[in-house]
Structure 1
Amino acid sequence: MLNSIDFNRRMTDVEYRLETKAVRGELANLQHRMKESKLPVIVLFEGWDSSGKGSMIANMIQTLDPRFFKVHNTKDPTPEEQRHPFLWRHWLRTPEKGKMAIFDESWYPEVSRARIESNLSTEEAYSRMESINTFERQLSQDGCLIIKFFLHISCKEQAKRHAKLMEDKNTRWRVTERDKFRNKHYKEYYRVYDEMLEKTNTVFAPWHVISAHERRSAMNEIYSIIVDSIRTALDKPKIIVPSEYQSQVHTFHLVKKPKLDEVPLYRRIEEDKYRTMLRHEQKKLSKLHNIVYRERIPIIIAYEGWDAAGKGGNIKRLTSALDPRGYEVIPIASPTPVEKMHHHLWRFWQNLPKDGHVAVFDRTWYGRVMVERLEGFCTEEEWKRAYQELNEFEYELEKWGAILIKFWLHIDSDEQLRRFTERQNTPEKQWKITDEDWRNREKWDLYETAVNDMIRLTSTEYAPWTIVESQDKKFGRIKAIQTLNDAIEARL
C-alpha cells in the first residue's frame, strides 16, 4: 500500500483556506448530528515519526466541540497493562455512542514496531492482527465508524525533519535515540508497516494512507475523508453486512452437549460424604490457586443457571478455597446507562482479571442471548450475531492464556417452584425472590429454548459448557469445584 503514494502533492495556503473552510464547518455540524444519532466514531492516526500526527490532530480538534471527543495518546503498555489481554486497554478507550475518540497511535504499534523493537514473533504479530480485525469488525457492526489514517513520509524527508529539530536547542529534545534508530532502519520498518496495512485493511475499517510531505494537502485530504465518512455513516439507514464479511469470520469447532431435558437430575450426595469431598476438593483448589498465581495463569469462571439454581451457594463454596487477595466475584445486573452507550462486551472487558488472578462472574456476557433476546432489549440481528461475538471474545481469552470455565446450573421447573415458595415463606430469604423471578418463570419454555441454543452454539473446544446438575445443591457444588480443579491440573 505504501508504494502507491505520490509525495509530490502540494497546496498553497490560499487553496487550503478556500477548500477547507466549508469542510471544516460541515465537520462541526456533523459532530452534533453524531451526538443526536448516537453514532460513535474512532479516528486513529498512525505513521512515521515526525510525519505530523500531533499537529494534524491539534488542527482537527479546533473544529470540534470539546465536550464530545477525547484524544488518547497511546504509549507502550505499562507492566500492569501487560498483565491483561493485548486488546484490554484499547477496549476500555472505545467511545460512547454519540462521541468521538481520537487516537494519536493506537493498537497498531503492537503489531508493527514491536516486531523490530520487542522481538514480537511473526506468528504472534499475525495472531494480533487477526484479533484487531475481529475487534474492529465487532465495533463496526455495533454501529461504530472507524477511520484509520497512516501518515507516510520518505526516509529522506524524515531525516530532514530530524535535522531541522536538532538545529534548535529548544526542539532538540524531541529527537530521541529511538527516532534516529528508526530512521536508520527505515527499510525494516517500511516492511512491517506495509504488511500491517495490507493485513488490516478491511471492508469495515479501511486504511487511508496520506502523503504527509506537505502539511496543507495532507490536512485537506484528512478533513475530506472524515467528513465524507461521517456523512455516509449518518445517512445510511442501518449497517449493511457486506458479502466479504463471511471470509473474515473465524469458524469455531463446537463440542456437542445434551439438551437440558436430556440431563438426568437424580444425582445426589449424602451429607457426610459431601462434607468429606468438599474439604478434599477445597484443599486441592487452595494449593492449585497458589501455583496458578505463581505461574501467572488467569482464571475466568462464568456462572449461569436458572433462578434459584444455587449459584450463590456454589460460588461461596468455590471461593472459600481461594486466597481473597487473588480473586474477585463480579455480580452482573442490568447494564447501567453508561454501559448501554458502549458495545455490549465493553463492560466485561473492563472486569477481566490480570494474569494469576481469578474472576468469578455471577451471570455473564450470555445475557445477550438469553434475557436480552427474550425481553426485546436488543434486535434479532444483534442477538443472532452475538453467538459469533461471544465465541470470539472467549477465543481472545484463550489466546491470552486464560483458563475459562462456564457453568450452567440446572434444575427442573418443579424444583424451582419449590425453592421460590420456600423463599417467599421464609422471612430471612424473601429478599432473594422478586416479581421479576416470577415473570421469568412464566417464560420457562422460552428460556429453555434460548439456553439450548446458547449451549449448542457457544460450546467450543476451548470453552465448553459444563452443565451442573444442581437439583441437589451439594452435588452441584462438588461438581463445580472438581471441574475447576481438573481444568487447572490439565493446564499445569
Structure 2
Amino acid sequence: MLSDFVMGKTTDKDERKRALAACRERLAAQQQEIKAKKLGVLVLLEGWGAAGKGSLLGEVINEIDPRSFKVHAIAAPTEEERRKPFLWRYFVKTPEKGLFSFLDSGWLGETVRQHLAGELDTAAMTRRIGSINTFERQLADDGTLLVKCFLNITRKEQAKRIARLEEDKDTAWRVSGEDERENERYDEYRDAFDAALTATSTTYAPWHVVDAGERAEARLALMTILTGAIDAALAAPRAPAAVPQNRFPLLPMPRLAEVALDKELDKGEYNDRLEAAQKRLRELHNRLYRKKVPLILVYEGWDAAGKGGNIKRVAAALDPRGFEVLPIASPEPHELAHHYLWRFWRRLPKDGHVAIFDRSWYGRVMVERIEGFCAQNDWQRAYNEINEFEAELSAWGAVILKFWIHIDPETQLARFHERQANPEKQWKITDEDWRNREKWPAYEEAVDEMLQKTSTTYAPWHVIESRDKKYARVKTLELIVGALEEVL
C-alpha cells in the first residue's frame, strides 16, 4: 500500500476550495443522519511521526457539533493499560451508536512500533494482526463504521518537520524519540507499516493512504474519505452479518437433562473440604498476584440455584484488595448504545487480580435470545464472538472458569416458596423470577446450546450440581484450586 502509493498529486486551488466547502456542508448534514440511523463512526488516524495527525484532526472536528464526538489521543500505554489486554484501551473508546470517536493513533501504530522494538516476535505479530481483524470485524458486524486513514510523508519531509518543531521550544516537546527513530530507520518502518496495513485492510474496514505532504490537499482528502464512507454506510441497507463457523477447540458437554443431581455432602465432610479448599485458594491468590496472572470466574445458573452463596464462599478465601464481584443486571441505555461486549471489556481485571461475574456476556445467548432483546442473527453470531473474546483473554494470560449452577424445577419451586415465606429473603424473589420459570424449557434449550458451543479448552464450562448447596460450593472451590495449581 505504501510502496506503490504515488506522492505529490495536487488539485487546482479553486477546485479544492469548492470541494472542501461541499464536504463541510455534507458533514454538517451527516451528523443528524447518523444519529437518526444510530450509526457509530470510528475514525482512526495513523501515520508517520510529524505527519500532522493532530492538526488535521482538529480541522475535521471543527465541522462537527462537539456534543457528537470524542477525541482520544493515544500515547504509549500507561502502567494501568499495560496490566490489561492489548485491545482493552481501544474497545472502551469505541463510539456510541449515532456518535463519532476519533483516535489520534491507535492499535496499528502501537503494534508496528512494538514489533520493531523487539516486543513482538513474528509469531506474536501474526496473532496480534488476527486480534485486530477480529476486533474490527466485530464492530463492523454490530453496525459501527470504521474509517481508517494513514497519513503518508516522505523521509525528507519528515526530517524537515521534525527539525522545524525542535527549533521552537514551545513545540519541541511534540517530537519524541520514536519520531526520530522512525526517520533514522525510515525504510524499515515503511516496510513494516506497509505489511501491517495490507494485512488489516479488509472489506469491512479498508485502509486509505493520504498524502500528507501538503496540508490543504491532505485536509480535502481526509474530508472526502470521511464523508464518502458515511454516505455509503447510510445508503447501504443493513444486512445481517454472516454467522461464521466455530473454529475453536470445544470440549464435550452433557445436556442438562443428563446431569444427575443426587450429589450431596454431610456437614462434617463439607466443613473439612470447604476449609481446606479455601485455605489453598488463599495461598494461590498470593501467587496469582505475584505472577500477575488474571483470574476470571463466570457464574450463570437457574434462579435460586445458589450462585450468591457459592460466590460468597469463593470470595471469603480471597484478599479483598485483589478481587471484585461484578453483579450484571440489564444493560443501561448508554451500554445498549455500544457493542454488547463493551460493558464487559470495561470490567476486566488487572493482571494478578480476580473478577467474579455474577451473570455475564452469556445473557446474549440466553435472556436476550429468549426475550427477543436482540435479533436472531445477533445471538447466533454471539457464540463465535464470545469464543473470540475469551480466546483474547486467554492469550493475555487469564485463567477463565465458567460455572452453570444447576438445579431441577422442583428444587427451584421449593426455594421460591421458602423465600416468599421468609421476610428476610422475600427481596430475592420477583415477578420476573416467576415469569422466567414459566419459560424453563426454552431456557434449558438455550443453555444446552450455549454449553455445547462455548465450552472451550481455554475457557471451559462446569455444570455444578446444586440441589445440595454444600456440595456445589465445595465442588466449585476445588475446581478453581485445581485449575490454578495447574497454571501456577
TM bracket (short chain) = over 0.9
2:445 is aligned with 1:427: no
Give the Cα–Cα distance (whole angstroms) in 2 for the partners of residues 8 and 268 of structure 1: 77
Give the Cα–Cα distance (whole angstroms) in 2 for the partners of residues 305 and 175 of structure 1: 54
Aligned to 1:471: 467
Give the Cα–Cα distance (whole angstroms) in 1 for the partners of residues 294 and 168 of structure 2: 50
Give the secondary structure class of the aligned counterpart of 2:261.
coil
Quote how far apart the aligned CAs of 1:119 are: 2.9
Seq. identity, %: 52
Give the secondary structure class of the aligned counterpart of 2:339.
coil
Q: 1:368 aligns with which of 364, 371, 374?
A: 364
Aligned to 1:101: 101
Aligned partner letter, 1:282 = Q
Unpaired runs of 5+ in structure 2? none
Quote how far apart the aligned CAs of 1:389 are: 0.7
- Residues 87-121 of structure 1, C-alpha deviation per residue, up to 9 Å, x if partnerless? 11111111111100001101122210111235322
Aligned to 1:301: 297
2:129 and 2:196 in contact (8 A); partners too: yes
Aligned to 1:48: 48
Change (3 A) 1:16 1:488: same
Quote how far apart the aligned CAs of 1:233 are: 1.1
Aligned partner letter, 1:225 = I
Q: Answer with 156-165 or 204-213: which moved more.
A: 156-165
2:452 is aligned with 1:452: no
Give the secondary structure class of the aligned counterpart of 1:4.
coil
Aligned to 2:260: 264
Change (3 A) 1:176 1:321: closer
2:165 is aligned with 1:165: yes
Aligned to 2:236: 236
Aligned partner letter, 2:152 = H
Q: 1:436 aligns with which of 432, 436, 452?
A: 432
Aligned to 1:278: 274
Give runs of aligned pairs for residues 8-407 of structure 1, distance below 5 A. 8-117=8-117, 119-168=119-168, 170-239=170-239, 241=241, 251-407=247-403
Change (3 A) 1:23 1:470: same
Aligned partner letter, 2:355 = A
Change (3 A) 1:31 1:277: same
Change (3 A) 1:306 1:250: closer
TM norm structure 1: 0.96
1:9 and 1:214 in contact (8 A); partners too: no
Quote how far apart the aligned CAs of 1:237 are: 2.2
Quote how far apart the aligned CAs of 1:365 are: 0.5
2:305 and 2:467 in contact (8 A); partners too: yes
Computed over aligned residues only, the root mean square deviation of the Cα atoms, in angstroms, reads 1.5
Quote how far apart the aligned CAs of 1:36 are: 1.6
TM norm structure 2: 0.97
Quote how far apart the aligned CAs of 1:176 are: 4.0
1:301 and 1:405 in contact (8 A); partners too: yes
Aligned partner letter, 2:47 = G
Give the Cα–Cα distance (whole angstroms) in 2 for the partners of residues 387 and 434 of structure 1: 29
Q: Answer with 161-170 or 103-112: which moved more.
A: 161-170
- Residues 43-76 of structure 1, C-alpha deviation per residue, up to 9 Å, x if partnerless? 1100011212112111111111110001110011
Aligned partner letter, 1:424 = Q
Change (3 A) 1:44 1:276: same
1:13 and 1:216 in contact (8 A); partners too: no
Give the Cα–Cα distance (whole angstroms) in 1 for the partners of residues 16 and 164 of structure 2: 24
Change (3 A) 1:401 1:175: closer
- Residues 324-359 of structure 1, C-alpha deviation per residue, up to 9 Å, x if partnerless? 111110000000111111110011111111011111
Unpaired runs of 5+ in structure 1? none
